[in-house]
Chains A and B, each alone.
Chain A
């Protein structure tokens, strides 16, 4: 016999399919079968129709399209015999869904079957209706179903109840019709009907608030009584599972009690006794008992407050947490997350166990535990939690964005942990660079604190010594991150920013970094392309402002950060984290201590290379560390200025990375607001800090007026210095105008004016200057970088020079000007020796 004729029995077809070794063979077999079935359908074959449909269902389950069989279902439903109807309805439910128009054709058959004398057929129809009816069908057949809710046979009643649920969901207007019948169902004895009746009531409550009110008033005591009966009922072999009678009914009852009791004190009162009984009497050595306890705890948490019950619930959760079974622990962690909004104290008690769960080998438990830990963080436990969180970053794959954002916030707050953090992340990156979130946090930290990594700053006692990391190693890490195939847009964008920061902190790697960034100039992703071009232009043309642009980010304010998260998490962290640190950085609450104490404080601050007597010199920005970037040493002037600013209670200060003098905080303040705000991924209250620091700096100068020691000469503020022509060539003339800021003899403000002497305009005009070691130079950005021809306009740029050998040596300067003339690159260099002697 041809094994593929439509007469094939189902099992033979299954055997044939199972015998296939490859997917292609299987496809071939299935195709042949489908063809045979299609032929049989065309011939209107009566005998094998149900067999064909069974085969079709199997094929559908394997995942092949079977829509040609839908009409077959209809024909089968319309036939008289029970087995055919059976298969027909089954096929209907599996092969069709409510969106198909074919479903409308079934409505009539369904109506007839709902009124059939054979109750099994009625049951069939109800089942099918309950599973896939659409809104129109629901409307048509609702009255029939309502009538059936009071049928004599309990099986039909329970099926009708579930069918009504679907109808009510599809057509909420019909809900009122079902309220009364549903209430009667609640008084049933038959468990099946009871369960479905409760289900119906639950859904009615969700759909219609008046139903909720009705049930709350009329049915709460009845339900409590039913639950009491079930709990106390004798052994019933029918429904017994693991020694408990019908745990499913228990759970359903608890669920509806939860809905009824939520927000309503009276209803909650009636439930208290039975809830206490269930919570204490249920055995918890079997899964069924635990399921009931879980539901009970959820109910207790949701209804109105009753102290004793809550304590009971938390105790049960504590027991769950220490259970060895992973399922129970998972469920307990879930519950604790909801409990934390209700009673945070109780949850804190279990913090140690939760931290244990973070180390668990099971991913689901780890994820839940991490989320819970994040919710638990407050100012007292942030330090140990930060260390733990960093160690467990290997769970980072399963963690939401909020957690790693918060991690970065926490890291930036704990500034004495910066060195440790960046080294730990560097090490972690070397071992495994797989997790996206680990890569992101590592890249961000290396960008911010790369200098700490290279110079081994801030080593904590508990750290293992790390092999020396060179600058190019650090750049390697970021390069790997950006080139990884698996890195997504956010990671690459963060890597680009980190590269810019590193190009300022590690000038030796600047060329290489520029090449990496240029690589993305043509990227198809707009974000990367834009960043690449902008950063490239910063590196090439705006080197003078680059260092201030990528200064260290100020301490991120955790309260505003979590507040900005739209209150989704409790804002339990405060900014006074800084207060626990010994460094005066970021201390906000310094009261106005007398000046003597201030001087003492400066001696305590880590200030390698500056002694007490130089303190005031440091304040004036004189004799600072050599011009190369050594941020470890530049901590000294940082702390000095910060302390003074705190005297004026400015608030969170901006640790200045560059080596410009303290007074230089003044003018860059205004320039830097916009670029930094644009650069930083995580925004911070930077603008206000800048404005504050600039205000503070100016009043600090006034303070210094009173304290300037006598050896410093006070120049006459009104003295006018002659302007000089610093440089002149065939195309260009540069003029310098001098002035002195009041009260500071060593600093000179120079206004440079560039005039174009040729007949064509200059474009891409860049002016650079270099000074010997005893001078300090600060260059502000030019007013613009195109110079119109023949003196039609000029470009100005201001410089500030500080002469530490004031009075002994005069200023000298080497300059370099680059510009494009007629699209040709031009370069001019020169040395300026004709400064006035007494500058």
Chain B
């Protein structure tokens, strides 16, 4: 419901982060990722950011070398999801400082933690950057 999955994929099609909110087997996931990524990478800048795939929609945006893809139900507000993607990027930027693809790759668990604070069970939970980053900064301080 709401958000079905969140993917971060680079321009070569390699998945950098994958969070699914509904169960799919491993083969299904790979097939799904392959299909969607092919569709999104083939599109130009001018085309709109929403792609229809099977019975749900994909909202995507490219930041530098990374594509952020969010799969949502058909009745979800696409423009709001675009905002959410931007919020996610800004949050990671505030934490890592000038975030880039390598940061996400080498600190995968931190990226997951952040995402977890923001989305739960497919719904957006928290939209304030300070609230999201508070537990993560706490954890960094103690470890």
Q: Which residues of A contact B (CB under 8 A)?
A: 10-11, 14, 54, 57-58, 61-63, 65, 82-83, 86-87, 90, 93-94, 97-99, 120, 123, 127, 130-131, 155, 158-159, 162-163, 165-166, 169, 191-192, 195-196, 199, 203, 238-239, 241, 246-249, 251, 287-288, 290-291, 294-295, 298, 325-331, 361-365, 367
Contacts and interface: CB of A to CB of B under 8 A. Distances in A.
Interface in B11-33: 15, 17-19, 21, 23, 26, 29-30
A90 B128 contact: no
B131 A192 contact: yes
B19, B106, B123, B135 interface centre (most CB from chain A within 10 Å)? B123
A94 B19 CA distance: 7
B137 interface: no
A435 B100 CA distance: 41
B43, B48, B78 interface centre (most CB from chain A within 10 Å)? B48
11 contacts: A127-B120, A158-B125, A159-B120, A162-B120, A162-B125, A195-B124, A195-B125, A247-B80, A287-B79, A287-B82, A327-B82
A199 B127 contact: no
Nearest to B51: A364
Nearest to B142: A82
A722 B58 CA distance: 83
Given A248-B83, A290-B79, A291-B79, A61 B15 contact: yes
Contacts of A131: 21, 120-121
Given A86-B109, A94-B19, 10 more contacts: A63-B29, A82-B142, A131-B121, A155-B131, A191-B127, A196-B123, A287-B79, A288-B83, A361-B46, A361-B47
Contacts of B129: 238
Given A196-B123, A327-B50, A362-B46, A248 B80 contact: yes
B121, B128, B129 interface centre (most CB from chain A within 10 Å)? B121
A826 B52 CA distance: 64
Interface residues on B, range: 35 or more
A86 B125 contact: no
A294 B123 CA distance: 19
Contacts of B50: 327, 330-331, 364
Contacts of B52: 364, 367
A10 B108 CA distance: 10
**Is chain A's interface secondary structure helix, strand, loop, or mixed overall?**
helix
Given A63-B26, A159-B125, A87 B109 contact: yes
Nearest to A293: B79
Given A61-B17, A295-B77, A162 B123 contact: yes
B113 A90 contact: yes
Contacts of A248: 80, 83-84, 124, 127
B121 A166 contact: yes
A248 B132 CA distance: 15
Nearest to A328: B79
Contacts of A82: 139, 142
A710 to B, nearest CB: 73
A87 to B, nearest CB: 7
A330 B48 contact: yes
B44, B50, B138 interface centre (most CB from chain A within 10 Å)? B50
Contacts of B84: 248
B91 to A, nearest CB: 12
A61 B7 CA distance: 10
Contacts of B135: 120, 123, 155
A587 B54 CA distance: 44
B47 A363 contact: yes
A329 B46 CA distance: 12
Interface in B67-91: 77-80, 82-84, 87
Contacts of B55: none
Given A158-B126, A192-B128, A291 B46 contact: no
Contacts of A239: 127-128
